[in-house]
Amino acid sequence: MAEFKEISPDAPLGQKALNWVDNRFPLSKLFNEHMAEYYAPKNFNWWYIFGSLALLVLVIQIVTGIFLVMHYKPDATTAFASVEYIMRDVPWGWLIRYMHSTGASAFFVVVYLHMYRGLIYGSYRKPRELVWVFGCAIFLVLMAEAFMGYLLPWGQMSYWGAQVIVNLFSAIPFVGPDLALLIRGDFVVGDATLNRFFSFHVIAVPLVLLGLVVAHIIALHEVGSNNPDGVEIKATKDDKGIPLDGIPFHPYYSVHDIFGVSLFLMVFSAIVFFAPEFGGYFLEYNNFIPADPLVTPLHIAPVWYFTPFYSMLRAITSEMMYALIACVLLGALLGVIKARLNMVMKGAVVGGAVVLVALMMAIDAKFWGVVAMGGAVVILFFLPWLDNSPVKSIRYRPSWNKWLYLVFVINFLILGYLGVQPPSPVGERVSQVGTLFYFGFFLLMPWWSRLGEFKPVPSRVTFHPH
């Protein structure tokens, strides 16, 4: 049993109260370890604000979600009416609902920007592989949480969007139909589906999400934050063991984050009060119509944050399969010719390629569309082992890398735009090219990340006070 720390009888009441707590719970110790004595690189730029904003939006979603659950009824006959009741009759209910719906989109905006910052500065590289893996798991769970929450208003797009997405699982060979039935809880999307999604959206998935967020932060604070230079600040310390290029997170970056939070809340409030539907992207107009199983909307599309992956799903057609088969055969050929493999490994590569091609020809393209959609997220988990660049940060990589990353972002945005639009021959071709580029960017990364002339990385961070 630890000894109690004594304090002067003349100490202020607040200090006595804190000492009483510290003797029973390590409050000051936790605060010092993760805030006051956690040394972050002194050259953080504005890209490093999005992690704190993601935490803020998570809190907004939990708090507003609690108030919405007080009045929402997870029943197919009353769900839509309960949302209307929240909007029209509950005091400030419209504000809570709009904060929650806008918060869902804001969450993905800040998470996408947070992940892109990790991508350009190499925050997934050693020793931060687990930080990145936990972050990707958060992204995956967040997508599940958003999808399940999307069904709850029980509007037309909620109903039909869920119908389309759940039916995709039926394309999985052997277990697909049973899996789709298990998810729906019925042969069609109905009351059982609504109850299941409500349970997961309100209880199960948020618990997993919170656990992953805690794991993400603990892993980050164990190895320390990355910085725009990709230099490890722990490599240069003073005689007290404090990094020479580090500054305490509190008060320096806590104040920095408060400024960023203030700017974010201004934009967030402007959207909530003046454009909560955001032109139909945040709240689709069809979702203000009660769900009707007998009337199918002219165009069914998911919310904007799913549309890049939805485009990849639609891009996989029977014609596209021939291009993918050619890519598999070409990849196997290059692996046999270029890679330093023994005869057994070369035989395994050829055999694996033949089996994969046989499966691609035998199984319907719809299934491979689902694989592409899921694979687009899963491939992010392997990024730490795909990047073979000798430097972390894009600052010290060849200049053409910046253009490559810019094309990647533009491609992702185009895929997102096409996912909102009705299918068209031109859109289909563009999305197919975009899908090939997306996967090529990651699968060819072990090769292209080594190319070019790299700039020398400084031993200390570059910092210009302002």
DSSP of 386-444: H---S-SSGGGS-THHHHHHHHHHHHHHHHHHHHHSPP-HHHHHHHHHHHHHHHHHHHT
> Rounded to whole angstroms, how far apart are CA atoms 200 and 212?
16
Tokens describing residue 341:
């493999």
Number of neighbouring beta carbons within 10 Å of residue 227: 25
DSSP state of 290: B
Question: CB of 122 within 8 A of CB of 393?
Answer: yes
Q: What Rg value do the Cα atoms of the chain yield, rounded?
A: 25
Give the residue among 83, 296, 307, 82 at the shortest CA–CA distance from 189: 296
Collapsing DSSP to helix, strand or coil, 145 comes out as helix
Q: Hey, what are 453's tokens?
A: 């002339």
Please indicate if the annotation marks 216 as binding a ligand.
yes
How far is it, in rounded angstroms, from Cα 237 to Cα 246? 9
DSSP per-residue codes, 225-241: ---TT---GGGSB-TTS
On whether 114 is known to bind a ligand per the annotation, the reply is yes
The closest of 203, 80, 91 to 152, measured between CA atoms, is 80
Q: Are 440 and 331 in contact (CB under 8 A)?
A: no
∠ CA(305), CA(311), CA(317), 5° rounding? 160
- 250 annotated as belonging to a binding site for a ligand: no
Q: How far, in Å, CA of 380 to CA of 455, rounded?
A: 26
Alpha-carbon span 270 to 264, nearest angstrom: 10
**CA-to-CA distance for 393 and 118, rounded, in angstroms?**
9
By C-alpha distance, which of 325, 351, 318, 357 is closest to 336?
351
Token pair 């604070």 in the structure block, residue? 221
- Helix H or strand E encompassing 38: none
3-state secondary structure of 19: helix
User: Which stretches does DSSP call E strand in 102-253?
Assistant: 246-248
For 44-111, the DSSP string reads: --GGGGHHHHHHHHHHHHHHHHHHHHTT----TTTHHHHHHHHHHTSTTHHHHHHHHHHHHHHHHHHH
Task: Confirm whether residue 221 is marked as ligand binding.
Answer: yes
- 100 in a known ligand binding site: yes
Q: Are 254 and 122 in contact (CB under 8 A)?
A: no
Going by the annotation, the residues of the binding site for heme b are 100, 114, 201, 216
Residues making up the annotated binding site for a ubiquinone are: 221
As annotated, the binding site includes 100, 114, 201, 216, 221
